[in-house]
Chain A
Amino acid sequence: MLLVTALGAVFIRDLFAVIMLFGIYSLVSAGFFLDLSAPDVALTEAAIGAGVAPLLMLATLALTREKTTPQPRAKRSIHTSLLPILVVTMTGAALVYATFDMPFIADPAGPAHNHVAPRYLQASGAEIGIPNVVTSVLASYRGFDTLGEVFVIFTAEIGVLSLLGFLADGSGRQYWQFEDTANLRRHNILHVVSKALIPVILIYAFYVQFHGDYSPGGGFQAGVLFAAGFILYAMIFGLQAAYRVVSPTALYWAMAIGVLLYGGTGVASLLLGGNYLDYNVLGSDAVHGQHNGILIVELGVGICVAAVMMSVFFKFSGRTAHFYDDRREVRK
């Protein structure tokens, strides 16, 4: 299944279909992750791969699609079509040869299962006291890693902002001032249904956020889910309505606040006498401290991720709206 959709993504030339296939591919791989007993990862992949990523790709397609002339096939020489296949086959063969030294799938004697993982599984119940080991490893044992990841997300968003934040024509308009884009305005049924559905999605996001200690979930998933619900709102009711609910400036603040919450927790634990991101000192005893620390850190992650996803979507769709605005003016 995975292989078929991936191959489809290679051979179909219509970019729209390729992007849709990529969404299906992500959904199938999410199911695969669930089968490999990784529900947290499956949740993330389903929300990101099938929701946000194809949406961004479609927005890019809308921005770049005019006069994409399909390349005449005869132009491609044998050099350009055969060489990649040769390189890929040779690399693949070398990698397959390398797999014969790897441990078998699900083998309990594999090296990955005999290093620090047993320690996490056995000790985290007593040391941290929350059932979801993934959350405790994410936020506590590997807190530094996660802090780094949050910074990477933040930096990527700053990159997107600096690339797309300004208008090329220099007409002095802010990027969020344009005509109303709600061309789904006439769909009454869609409005009614989404009005009932979006709150449910948002509440589910909060559930995933704050119940992440006990069931699959956590800041990353919750942030993406929240952003997905909000993006749905923006798509159905128009960007203008969405900007009235959350202004882009508020999103920048939220992004920074999310990262600062995470970093600030570390500083707080330093000031209280522990090491950086050592939550033991944040409560009356070590387990309570861990609980508080993980809750705050996950909240920071959730805020940051949600704000980043929403503001990336705003950037892309705002630019698309401008793009069509400008073309309409040119046509007049």
Chain B
Amino acid sequence: MTTVLGLYNYWIVIALMMIGFYVVIAASNLIKKIIGLNIFQTSVFILYISIGMREGGAAPILKEGVEVYANPLPHVLILTAIVVGVATTALGLSLIVRIKEAYGSIEEDDIAEKDGSL
């Protein structure tokens, strides 16, 4: 695949990234913002893994008679990043819970309003 269509993986990634970006900046609900961040994050994962893919490459588990493997390095990075991602998501969600307890709302506008009236 040597035409310009060989770049399709980047375009999927960019589309997903922009969807996530849009949710983060446009959604007013904080949980939805977190989901947007997660979509953004997944797009980065896909970027790395698709870079690590190789024509005719097998999964990077050494076997007799297999010569071409996918690149293991992005796999390692992304594998840890997924777990770290869920840990940080949990941190963000617990922040949301505390915000709800302090402000009584998880809508950005309400929170800004309350801050302004303080």
- Interface residues in A211-242 by Cβ distance below 8 A to B read 214-216, 218, 220-221, 223-224
A87 to B25, CA, bound (A): 10
Bitwise interface map of B from 43 to 60 toward A, beta carbon under 8 Å scored 1, else 0: 001100111111111111
Bitwise interface map of B from 64 to 88 toward A, beta carbon under 8 Å scored 1, else 0: 0000111111111111111111111
Contact B94 A315, beta carbon cutoff 8 Å: yes
Main secondary structure of the interface of B (DSSP, over half): helix
Q: Is A106 an interface residue (CB 8 A)?
A: yes
A37 to B49, CA, bound (A): 9
Q: Is B112 an interface residue (CB 8 A)?
A: no
Contact A134 B11, beta carbon cutoff 8 Å: no
Contact B45 A45, beta carbon cutoff 8 Å: yes
- Interface residues in A8-49 by Cβ distance below 8 A to B read 9-10, 15, 18-19, 22, 25-26, 29, 32-33, 36-41, 44-45, 48-49
Q: Is A124 an interface residue (CB 8 A)?
A: yes
Contact A134 B72, beta carbon cutoff 8 Å: yes
Main secondary structure of the interface of A (DSSP, over half): helix
Q: Is A110 an interface residue (CB 8 A)?
A: yes
Chain A: number of interface residues, binned into ranges: 35 or more
Q: Which of A2, A56, A149, A309 is in CB contact (< 8 Å) with B16?
A: A2
Q: Is A197 an interface residue (CB 8 A)?
A: no
Q: Which of B10, B39, B94, B98 is in CB contact (< 8 Å) with A102?
A: B10
Bitwise interface map of A from 110 to 124 toward B, beta carbon under 8 Å scored 1, else 0: 101100110011001
- Smallest Cβ distance from A3 to chain B, in angstroms? 6
Question: A residues bordering B, Cβ < 8 Å?
Answer: 2-3, 6-7, 9-10, 15, 18-19, 22, 25-26, 29, 32-33, 36-41, 44-45, 48-49, 52-53, 56-57, 59-61, 63-64, 68, 71, 80-81, 84-85, 87-89, 91-92, 95-96, 99-100, 102-108, 110, 112-113, 116-117, 120-121, 124-125, 131-134, 137-138, 142, 145-146, 149, 152-153, 156-157, 159-160, 163-164, 168, 214-216, 218, 220-221, 223-224, 305, 308-309, 312, 315-316, 319
Q: List 28 A-B contacts (CB under 8 A).
A: A9-B23, A9-B39, A18-B31, A18-B32, A37-B59, A41-B49, A41-B78, A49-B42, A52-B86, A57-B31, A57-B89, A59-B93, A85-B26, A87-B21, A91-B21, A96-B10, A99-B11, A104-B2, A106-B1, A106-B53, A108-B68, A113-B54, A120-B72, A121-B62, A125-B62, A134-B75, A149-B80, A215-B61
